[in-house]
């Protein structure tokens, strides 16, 4: 399926107020309010209401909690999808859950599959079991979360009758500065191997545990080139245009998907 129109995407790279949702709502609203009518998609970092906290029992909210309300209103005001992950409680379990909120109030979710055991995330959260591919304004988009980036099988594009399952791969993250080379390298690798645009959105600043984050948020082309990149520790919002024509042409001229291996995930 060929794409027929471009997509404007806006990345938000910012410090996060530690375990303080209300301050994060306020701060993020100030940053993204000027995007109204000027973008199709706004991408926030992982755990954008709290920072990467393991205090899931205290900080979790139900899926229909205050953050969902904030996202509904924000998406409506912007006429754009707003996405990022938060801490959600469901059935007595806790999830690092990405919410994909459309301006009409409809939403979908993705639970982080790979939990970062080095921070004991696996001891405080349940891992997800299913991918999410959404369609938005003609584009098919697969949103993932942080540590998922290290596991290429989970994000591997699939092809049916020569058509790719998705066109854009998103990673929302709290990726520490100490491992920024891996972040930068793997984002570009995912673009090359899946022949898609990749959006990587990371926070900056220091969290409540003293861990520093450098940002390095970026939009990567299907050829692995930087279309847009934040400076280290830069705070703000940047918008890039994903070209439908460029992706269509590249897939026709260099159809690597036709030689992709068939596989299933257990």
Residues taking part in catalysis: 46, 112, 146
Q: How far apart are CA 15 and CA 50, in angstroms?
A: 11
Three-state secondary structure string covering the chain: CCCCCCEEEEEEECCCCCCCHHHHHHHHHHHHHHHCCCCCEEECCCCCCCCCCCCHHHHCECCCCHHHHHHHHHHHHHCCEEEEEEEEEECCEEEEEEEEECCCCCEEEEECCCCCHHHCHHHHCCCCCCCCCEEECCEEEEEEEHHHHHCHHHHCCCEECCEECCCEEEEEECCEHHHHHHHHHHHHHHHHHHCCEEEEEECEEECCCCCEEECCCEEECCCCCEEEECCCCCCEEEEEEECHHHHHHHHHHCCHHHHCCCCCCC
Q: How far apart are CA 120 and CA 132, in angstroms?
A: 25
Counting Cα atoms < 13 Å in the Cβ hemisphere of 211 gives 18
CB atoms within 10 A of CB 193: 15
Q: How far apart are CA 221 and CA 164, in angstroms?
A: 16
Q: Which two tokens stand for residue 118?
A: 């080095």
């Amino acid at each position: 399926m060929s794409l027929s129109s471009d997509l404007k995407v806006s990345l938000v790279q910012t410090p996060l107020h530690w375990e303080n949702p209300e301050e994060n709502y306020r701060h993020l609203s100030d940053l993204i309010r000027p995007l109204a009518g000027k973008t199709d998609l706004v991408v926030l970092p992982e755990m954008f209401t709290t920072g990467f906290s393991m205090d899931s029992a205290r900080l979790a909210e139900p899926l229909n909690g205050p953050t969902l309300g904030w996202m509904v209103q924000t998406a409506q005001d912007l006429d754009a999808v707003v996405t990022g992950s938060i801490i959600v409680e469901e059935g007595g379990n806790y999830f690092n859950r990405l919410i994909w909120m459309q301006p009409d109030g409809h939403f979908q979710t993705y639970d982080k599959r790979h939990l970062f055991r080095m921070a004991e995330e696996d001891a405080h959260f349940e891992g997800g079991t299913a991918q999410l591919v959404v369609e938005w304004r003609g584009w098919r988009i697969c949103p993932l979360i942080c540590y998922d980036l290290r596991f290429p099988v989970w994000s591997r594009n699939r092809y049916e009758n020569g058509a790719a399952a998705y066109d854009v791969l998103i990673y929302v993250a709290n990726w520490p500065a100490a491992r920024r080379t891996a972040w930068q390298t793997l984002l570009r690798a995912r673009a090359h191997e899946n022949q898609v645009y990749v959006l990587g959105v990371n926070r900056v600043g220091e969290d409540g545990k003293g861990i520093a984050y450098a940002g390095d948020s970026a939009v990567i082309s299907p050829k692995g080139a930087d279309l847009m990149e934040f400076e280290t520790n830069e705070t703000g919002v940047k918008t890039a245009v994903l070209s439908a024509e460029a992706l269509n042409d590249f897939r026709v001229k260099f159809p690597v998907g036709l030689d992709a291996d068939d596989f299933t995930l257990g």
